[in-house]
């Protein structure tokens, strides 16, 4: 287990950083594609933690989880801002459609 833990955490952290960079660059289609594999990797890592890990691995795991949570917090904040922007644009489109319909009625 000791070799697996650093390898899997390193891969998990790498994908997490990639997601964060993609969100910062607002590459939303890339985010959607990578997010799915990231979630599957998290599930795989959790499923593979069936045996006990030693104290050193636990310290490493705690630090990695803290880093992942910090990054995911920023990702969530940026996604919320993106959602608000998309909602605003949808309202503008809806109002434009309503104005067009009113204009056509005249």
Residue 51's pLDDT is what?
Answer: 60
Looking at the domain 4-105, which fold is it?
Methane Monooxygenase Hydroxylase; Chain G, domain 1 (1.20.58)
CB 15 within 8 A of CB 38: yes
Express as a percent the part of the chain with pLDDT over 70.
92
| pTM for the full predicted model | 0.69
Euclidean distance between CA atoms 45 and 39, whole angstroms: 10
Residue 42 token pair: 């998290």
Task: Give the rounded distance of the alpha carbon of 97 from its chain centre.
Answer: 33
């Amino acid at each position: 287990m000791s070799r697996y833990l650093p390898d899997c955490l390193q891969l998990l952290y790498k994908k997490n950083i990639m997601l964060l960079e993609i969100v910062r660059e607002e590459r939303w289609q890339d985010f959607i594609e990578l997010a799915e594999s990231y979630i599957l990797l998290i599930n795989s890592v959790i499923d593979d933690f069936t045996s006990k890990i030693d104290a050193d691995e636990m310290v490493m795991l705690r630090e990695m989880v803290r880093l992942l949570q910090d990054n995911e917090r920023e990702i969530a904040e940026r996604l919320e801002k993106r959602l608000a922007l998309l909602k605003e644009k949808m309202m503008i489109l809806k109002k434009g459609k309503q104005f067009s319909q009113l204009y056509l009625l005249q």
